[in-house]
Amino acid sequence: MSKIWRVRPLYTIIVEFLQGKRGAVIDTELFKALKKDDRDLSFRAFNKTLMKLEIEGIIYVSSLTKNKRHVELVKS
């Protein structure tokens, strides 16, 4: 990952994206959309941010299949 700081934090971008998608999306779709804007984004950093948001109660992540997760915005 690059040592350059983002102008907007990743967790803010994720919440804004979910608000635009009516509050729910598949994790792979979310990662691809974020990757378009930030080519240095790693899947590990993405998962770490999702975990942080879930612990804070902002999103809810549930498993659909082995490799797919449903990411849902709890509060806006």
End-to-end CA distance of the chain: 29
Integer Cα distance of 19 and 17 in angstroms: 5
Condensed to tens digits (0 to 9), the pLDDT of residues 4-28 reads: 666 788 999 999 999 998 889 999 9
Residue 46: pLDDT over 90: yes
Integer Cα distance of 14 and 76 in angstroms: 12
Cα Dmax for the chain: 35
| CATH no. of 10-73 | 1.10.10.10
The predicted model scores a pTM of 0.84
Integer Cα distance of 35 and 18 in angstroms: 15
Residue 40: pLDDT over 90: no
